[in-house]
């Protein structure tokens, strides 16, 4: 059974468990236009609603619960590896995710009224995979993104793979916050916390 509630400091908090909330948390985590504190509050708000923000004494524990929930119950430490590039972007790859779920499971998660994050994540990680190409489109694209072209000796093959990688590359627009944006975000959260 998948978790629906979190208990923090003797209080029970309902978790917004639909996978769309988890994907939104992922988007928030990657948004560097806001600071770490604001990002943490946004994740808490996304998963627990306004009730999660009412008592600042709960923030640390709620954030730990949120991270554990987003990692599907794993309690491993969050390590930031700047050199490791992601091979999936939930926004850019939505059409591949939809096609792959239809191919493997005969359903489209984005057309469902509700799908628990754990179930979505488990299905995503168990999509068909083969080194010989007989797998869903999402995993084929992830394979292409992960090929280390520096190990390819044949120059024509290397160029072909690099062109393929370019066509499916994750197009991240690194957001860099201006001082005005940072100040606006800080004021917004200060006002929000006064409620």
Give me the pLDDT at residue 32, please: 85
Q: At what angle do helices 59-70 and 36-48 cross, to 10 degrees?
A: 70
Length of the chain: 195
pLDDT in tens, 51-63: 989 999 999 999 9
Give me the pLDDT at residue 30, please: 87
Q: What is the mean pLDDT of residues 60-74?
A: 93
Give me the pLDDT at residue 107, please: 97
Q: What is the mean pLDDT of residues 75-86?
A: 59
pLDDT at position 72 over 90? yes
Q: How far apart are CA 179 and CA 185, in angstroms?
A: 10
pLDDT in tens, 122-161: 999 999 987 766 689 999 999 999 999 999 999 999 999 9
3-state secondary structure the chain: CCCCEEEECCEEEECCCEHHHHHHHHHHHCCCCCCHHHHHHHHHHHHHCHHHHCCHHHHHHHHHHHHHHHCCCCCCCCCCCCCCCCCCCCCCCHHHHHHHHHHHHCCCHHHCCCCEHHHHHHHHHCCCCCCCCCCCHHHHHHHHHHCCHHHCCCHHHHHHHHHHHHHHCCCCCCCCCCHHHHHHHHHHHHHHHHC
Q: How confident is the model at residue 184 (pLDDT cuts 50, 70, 90)?
A: low
Q: Where are the domains of the chain?
A: 1-76, 94-168
- Specify the residue for token string 């957001």: 175
Residue 56 has which token pair? 């600042």
pLDDT at position 177 over 70? no
pLDDT in tens, 40-51: 999 999 999 999
Give me the pLDDT at residue 47, please: 97
């Amino acid at each position: 059974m998948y978790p629906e509630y979190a208990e923090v400091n003797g209080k029970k908090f309902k978790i917004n468990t639909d996978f769309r909330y988890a994907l939104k948390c992922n988007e928030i985590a990657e948004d560097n236009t806001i600071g770490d504190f604001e990002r943490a509050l946004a994740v808490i708000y996304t998963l627990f609603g306004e009730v999660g923000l009412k008592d600042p004494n709960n923030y640390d524990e709620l954030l730990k619960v949120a991270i554990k929930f987003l990692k599907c119950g794993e309690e491993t430490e969050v390590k930031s590896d700047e050199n490791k590039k992601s091979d999936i972007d939930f926004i850019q790859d939505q059409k591949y995710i939809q096609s792959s779920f239809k191919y493997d499971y005969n359903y489209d998660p984005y057309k469902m009224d509700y799908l628990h994050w754990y179930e979505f994540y488990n299905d995503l990680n168990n999509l068909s995979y083969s080194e010989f190409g007989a797998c869903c489109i999402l995993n084929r694209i992830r394979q292409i993104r992960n090929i280390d072209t520096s190990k390819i000796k044949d120059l024509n093959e290397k160029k072909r793979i690099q062109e393929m990688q370019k066509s499916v590359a994750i197009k991240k627009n690194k957001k860099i916050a201006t001082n005005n944006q940072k100040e606006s975000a800080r004021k917004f959260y200060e006002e929000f916390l006064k409620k």
